Structure 1
Amino acid sequence: MSQKRLPDTEFLVMKAVWQCPELPVSTHDIMKHLPNDRGWKPQTVLTLLKRLADKGFLESERKGKERFYTPIISEADYLAIETDNFMKRYKGNSISSLVRTFFTSNDVSAEELEELRHLLEE
Structure 2
Amino acid sequence: MAEWKVMKIVWDLQKAMAREVYTLAGELHGWSPATVKTLLKRLVDKQYLTTTPVGNGFVYRPAQSAIATLRGAADTLLSNATEAATGPLLVHMVEASDLNAQDLDALQKLIDAKKRTLSRRKPPS
What TM-score range do you get, normalising by the shorter chain?
Answer: 0.5 to 0.7
TM-score (norm 2): 0.65
Give RMSD over aligned pairs: 3.5
* Unaligned runs of at least 5 residues, structure 2: 111-125
CA 83–20 in structure 1, closer or farther in 2 if over 3 Å, else same:
same
Structure 1 SS opposite 2:40: helix
Of the three residues 78, 83, 86, the one matched with 1:92 is: 83
The equivalent of 1:15 in structure 2 is 8
Q: Is the 8 A contact 1:59 1:72 kept in 2?
A: yes
The equivalent of 2:92 in structure 1 is 102
Structure 2 SS opposite 1:73: coil
Question: 1:90-111: per-residue Cα shift (whole Å, max 9, x none)?
Answer: 253997x2477439xx59xxx9
> Which structure: greater helix fraction?
2
How many residue pairs were aligned?
108
The equivalent of 1:121 in structure 2 is 109
Percent identity between the two aligned chains: 25
Of the three residues 62, 65, 74, the one matched with 1:74 is: 65
In the TM superposition, residue 31 of structure 1 has moved relative to its aligned partner by 3.1
> Which structure has the larger Rg?
2
More contact order relative to length (CA 8 Å, sep ≥ 6) = 1
Mapped pair 1:57 → 2:45: no
In the TM superposition, residue 113 of structure 1 has moved relative to its aligned partner by 8.3
TM-score (norm 1): 0.66
Q: Is the 8 A contact 2:51 2:60 kept in 1?
A: yes
Of the three residues 17, 21, 25, the one matched with 1:34 is: 25
Q: Is the 8 A contact 2:26 2:32 kept in 1?
A: no
Letter in 2 for 1:54: D
